[in-house]
Chains A and B, each alone.
Chain A
Amino acid sequence: MRSLLVIAAALVLAPVAAACPSAADLEGELICPTCKTTLDQSDAPAARRIKSLIRQRVAECASEQQIKDELVAQFGPAVLAAPPRKGIHWLAWLLPLIGLLTAAAVISLLVWRWSRARPDEAVADSNGRLPLDPELERRLDRELAKFDG
């Protein structure tokens, strides 16, 4: 009976524990305002203070978004390592994707045109033989003409 209660308590508490963010993850997603690197790479006094606040808020089980919002309210959006997914900041997420898709489309178009151009240029005659290059044909005529003479 006792062990069943322990298991039940663990099942109830497990999702709560999982909902609490990790300080290490947050430190990789936030920028130190004085040295401009992520907090996990900085040992500047300002970074140490912010890390301490993050650990305190994580211990209180504040959500990741709450902690980020609190820091943005104090240090501005530049404290976020990645731009937020809203408003004009969407451009930072979308432009690389648009660039990638455009490049893929251009390359596909060029490859398609190149692969289509070759058979058009070389049309086989009724015997299935491909015609000679005009320049090569003229040269061949000249060479043969020498023997005729």
Chain B
Amino acid sequence: MTGRLKVAAQVAALALVAGLFALLVWKVATQDEGAAPKLGRGETPPAPAFSLDRLDRPGKLSLAAYRGRPVVLNFWASWCVPCKEEAPLLESVWRRYRDRGLVVLGIDINDLRGDARRFARRNRMSYPLVYDGPGNTTTKYGLTGVPETFFVARSGKLICDRLQAGVHLEGNKERFQECVEEVLGA
């Protein structure tokens, strides 16, 4: 009887280890790397969907609402210094191209709602803003920090490039303008 109990205990221990190992393999295999690495490999993945609370007015806003329109998707936070520096350029692009259907959409992440609203007011951000306090969209898009900017074509696919560390920077400014033109034409 003791022998049978011992074998049963061994089988249970092995099953437990195998189960945990299977869970690990499943987690690693199904882990989504996000859209950014795919974009980096030259692919045009679909822009991950989201529906978030608006920051600039009551209600929710989903990316699907802009299907058929080119979108400049900018991730920012009030505590991020380059976000403040790039805000005027994003605002000017929004004002300049909105008649051609372009939408600049700001996603505030990992931030306090009150801080984000104050930041938007101080920096005169008039384009649509949504709030993602928990940062759920960051994993879907494969963000490495803020600010980061993506370009969504009318088809709903991400195109051109992912611009990091501020679109106003010397290394990014020209590329930003190219991507805006590309997304308008796509």
Contact = CB atoms under 8 A, between A and B. Distances in A.
Interface of A: 33-34, 45-46, 48-50, 53, 74-76, 78-79, 106, 110, 113-114, 117
18 contacts: A33-B134, A34-B110, A34-B135, A45-B80, A46-B77, A46-B79, A48-B79, A49-B78, A50-B112, A53-B112, A74-B112, A75-B110, A76-B134, A78-B134, A79-B134, A110-B5, A113-B1, A113-B5
A45 B79 contact: yes
B157 interface: no
A49 B1 CA distance: 63
A21 B110 CA distance: 24
A46 B111 contact: yes
How would you classify the secondary structure of chain B's contact residues: helix, strand, loop or mixed? loop
Please tell me the size bucket of the interface on B: 10 to 19
A33 B2 CA distance: 51
B133 A75 contact: yes
B110 A33 contact: yes
Q: 5 closest pairs, A vs B, by CB?
A: A76-B134, A45-B79, A33-B110, A74-B133, A75-B133
Nearest to A49: B79
Nearest to B1: A113
B115 interface: yes
Contacts, number: 39
A45 B84 CA distance: 14
Contacts of B168: none
B111 A113 contact: no
B9 interface: yes
A113 B8 CA distance: 15
A106 B110 contact: no
Contacts of A114: 2
A105 B45 CA distance: 53
A117 B1 CA distance: 11
A26 to B, nearest CB: 15
Contacts of A34: 110, 135
Interface in B99-144: 110-113, 115, 133-136
Contacts of B77: 45-46
Contacts of B5: 110, 113
Most buried by A among B9, B78, B113, B134: B134
